[in-house]
Amino acid sequence: MLQERIPDLAKFVEPDRVRREVYTDPTIFELEMQRIHERVWIYCGHESQVPQPGDYYAVQIGRQPMLMVRGKDGGVHVLYNRCPHRGNMMCGDRHGSAGEFFRCSYHSWTFQHDGTLRTIPMMESGYEGTRWTRDNPDCNMKRAARVESYRGFVFASLSEEGPTLAEFLGPSRIAFDDMCDRAPEGEVEIVPNCFRVVQHSNWKIFLENQLDALHPSVTHQSTGRAARDVEIAIEKRTGHAPLSYHMLSAFATVTIDKWDVFQTLNYPHGHCILTGYMGLRPKDPDTLAYERVMEKAYGKARAEEILGVNIHHVLIYPGLSVQSPLQQLRAVRPLGVDKTLTEIWHFRLKGAPEPIYRRSLAYYNLVNSPATMINADDLENFWKCQQGLASEGGDWVSFHRHFGRDIAKEGYVETGPNMGTSEAPMRNQMKAWSELMSKD
Amino acid sequence: MATKRKGASPRKALKKRAVRSSKPARAVKSAAVTRLNGRDTQHAVEQFLYRQAEYLDTKRWQNYIDLFSGDGIYWMPPDPSHTTWEGMPAIFAEDQNLMTVRMNRVLHPDAWSQRPLWGTNHVVGNVTIESEKPNGDVVVRSRFHMMELRRDDVRHFAGSYVHHLKRTKDGYRIKLQRVDMTNAQAAYDYVLQVWV
């Protein structure tokens, strides 16, 4: 039916521009949920969120309410949050423990943590000769078609078909490698807090902003300037301002023309990387102490290799923005064509000294909390984009900057030298969008 | 008793401030002679909390920041179980320096999100003095309700304040203000621009 309404999706996306309906049409949104979010690998959460058997977290995949749960065998399962009896939602909380087994609040059907039916009241009689039998899979809580994790980060796909998680992530897995390798113990654990912020704009607007090097010095100028003034005042008074002021002031001190020196790398499936600009490797005593711990754990050469990775953002299309050197990520959950939820998490580097955790925590609190001095202005722009795109003042969204100058390499597309502000990441995301949306 | 003798000094400070402030405070001054010390404290603390809320609703940001002591912290935990802001995720955990960044950002002409019409209205009540030290420092618990208008959208935030107030020669200063919002864990429809 949707196919009839939108006979030719190809006409909505051209290599250098996209029609406005892609962001505003509820029918296209429904199709996106079917063909993109409910097919490809979507981030569910980190294994350390569910340490004990029965621990669960609710997660939305496309339009499907799911549960990520720790099983008794130690594995992590992803199930539809639905009782197969009458369709009742099994867990009404965002997270918690199911205990020994799931129990439906309506008629007390119970299920193992992997979704297998355990008991129903009076099951010994009353079902003879009916379709209800223990070996009927319809009597279990339905599982996500595929669940895989990479270095503790759990993904699920609601489609039996498609690339494996490793194939899907490709080089964008550096998001998790960079995060985990920076831990002397080689892994991270969740900081048990999720900041959740709703934006009144299409989910793609958020993703396109993540690697947009043209906007920070414009959108975030007010905070950057305000932070720079206080940073200077503190430096004058004490000789040294905390790094958190630099994290904010960099938004103003790196002016629009300076952004070209950074680079974006664009991969298959819509993933992209923006190289780093914040200079998060100062020579202060905290950093040096951390580097010594890293050298002890990995050896000098390997530690240097790990600490030398210079990434600002990794975008894992279509729903995850990772800031690996700061150990935080934002999961994007589309709620409607003009409404998007971001779930924002922070991770602790296992084995790293406390000041290193505190440093990235400062960024988490200042930039990613619901009192953010940075994203407030982004969200204002996203809302304005959504309003403007609803108008008939024009049909197209422009991604023309440095179009035609992208350099195709083996397995990825690089922006040319001194073209960090290229809109290549947006073009790359829309290319993936077209590929996914064209499959029935 | 030593405590009684010391207990008199906050009253003196209150008198001093009452002289400088407007009419209602003057009425307190005369009443203070006969009232119990606890009631004086109650009144002074209430006036302080109301003034703080008024600074927010009238966007007098510098006056608001000045209510904090040099080492004072404005803290909004994301979870009521948190007992410290140090090393913890926090919605706000700001000293005067960070508060100054926030103020200057809000006042910057290119703070895009500040352009649309917005305003707040705070009501503070249920003011309960949890403890008072001989030196006049108090811990106060109160409840608030805040309505915010932004463009045509109204939001409501409610919760509790716990103020750790230091008695100084210029009146109370905030050593720590803890803000627990009842809706702290709900998803935020848009963000919080300034202190609640």
DSSP string for B121-147: EEEEEEEEEEEE-TTS-EEEEEEEEEE
Residue A372 has pLDDT above 50, yes or no: yes
B188 to A197: CB separation less than 8 angstroms, yes or no:
yes
> By percentage, how much of chain B surpasses pLDDT 90?
75
Domains parsed from chain B with CATH numbers: 2-181 (3.10.450.50)
d(CA B82, CA A162): 43
* Nearest CA-CA distance, residue B133 and chain A, Å: 33
Element (DSSP H or E) covering residue A192? strand A188-199
Question: Which residues of B fall within a CB distance of 8 Å from A246?
Answer: none
Chain B contact probe: residue of A94, A189, A190, A195 with most B CBs at under 10 A: A195
Token pair for residue B59?
Answer: 């966007």
Residue A239, judged by CB atoms within 10 A of its CB (0-12, 13-18, 19+), counts as: exposed
d(CA B39, CA B36): 5
pLDDT tens readout for residues B43-52: 999 999 999 9
d(CA A195, CA A199): 13
B101 to A225: CB separation less than 8 angstroms, yes or no:
no
Residues sharing a CB contact under 8 Å with residue A7, sequence separation 6 or more, in sequence order = none
d(CA B48, CA B68): 12
pLDDT tens readout for residues A48-63: 999 999 999 999 999 9
Average pLDDT score over residue span A264-273 = 95
Token pair for residue A396?
Answer: 């197209």
Chain B contact probe: residue of A209, A223, A338 with most B CBs at under 10 A: A223
* Nearest CA-CA distance, residue A196 and chain B, Å: 5
Select from A155, A143, A145, A141 the least CA-distant residue to A47: A155
Q: Residue A65 forms beta bridges with which residues?
A: A60
3-class state of residue A20 by DSSP: coil
In words, the CATH class of domain A171-437 is alpha beta
Token pair for residue A272?
Answer: 């992209």
pLDDT tens readout for residues A279-335: 668 888 999 999 999 999 999 999 999 999 989 899 999 999 999 999 999 999 999
B187 to A354: CB separation less than 8 angstroms, yes or no:
no
Angle subtended by helix axes A285-298 and A300-307, to nearest 10: 130
pLDDT tens readout for residues B68-115: 999 999 999 999 999 999 999 999 999 999 999 999 999 998 888 888
Average pLDDT score over residue span A362-373 = 96
Question: Which residues of B fall within a CB distance of 8 Å from A370?
Answer: 91, 188, 191-192
d(CA A307, CA A15): 36
A226 to B93: CB separation less than 8 angstroms, yes or no:
no
Q: Identify the pLDDT of residue A255.
A: 85
Q: Identify the pLDDT of residue A277.
A: 65
Contact B94, B102 (CB under 8 A): yes
Chain A contact probe: residue of B96, B191, B194 with most A CBs at under 10 A: B191
Residue B4 has pLDDT above 70, yes or no: no
Token pair for residue A82?
Answer: 């639905």
Q: Distance of CA A111 to CAs A56, A91, A94, A107, A124, Å?
A: 14, 12, 19, 12, 17
Q: How many CB atoms are closer than 10 A to CB A34?
A: 16
In words, the CATH class of domain A42-150 is mainly beta
Contact B93, B173 (CB under 8 A): no
Residue A267 has pLDDT above 80, yes or no: yes
Average pLDDT score over residue span B17-33 = 40
Reported confidence tier of residue A7, pLDDT bands at 50, 70, 90 = low
Q: How many CB atoms are closer than 10 A to CB B9?
A: 13
CB burial readout A320-358, b (16+ within 10 A) else e: bbbbbbbbbbbbbbbeebbbbbbbbbbbbbeebeeebbe
Q: Identify the pLDDT of residue A282.
A: 83
B89 to A227: CB separation less than 8 angstroms, yes or no:
no
* Nearest CA-CA distance, residue A361 and chain B, Å: 7
A370 to B188: CB separation less than 8 angstroms, yes or no:
yes
Residues sharing a CB contact under 8 Å with residue B164, sequence separation 6 or more, in sequence order = B137, B138, B139, B174, B175, B176, B177
Residue A197 has pLDDT above 80, yes or no: yes
Q: Identify the pLDDT of residue A276.
A: 73
A198 to B188: CB separation less than 8 angstroms, yes or no:
yes
Q: Identify the pLDDT of residue B29.
A: 43
Token pair for residue A368?
Answer: 């990613």
Domain segments of chain A as ranges: 42-150, 171-437
Q: Residue A14 forms beta bridges with which residues?
A: A17
Q: Identify the pLDDT of residue A9.
A: 80
Residue B9 has pLDDT above 70, yes or no: no
Reported confidence tier of residue B17, pLDDT bands at 50, 70, 90 = very low
Q: Identify the pLDDT of residue A70.
A: 98
Select from B67, B98, B64 the least CA-distant residue to A230: B98
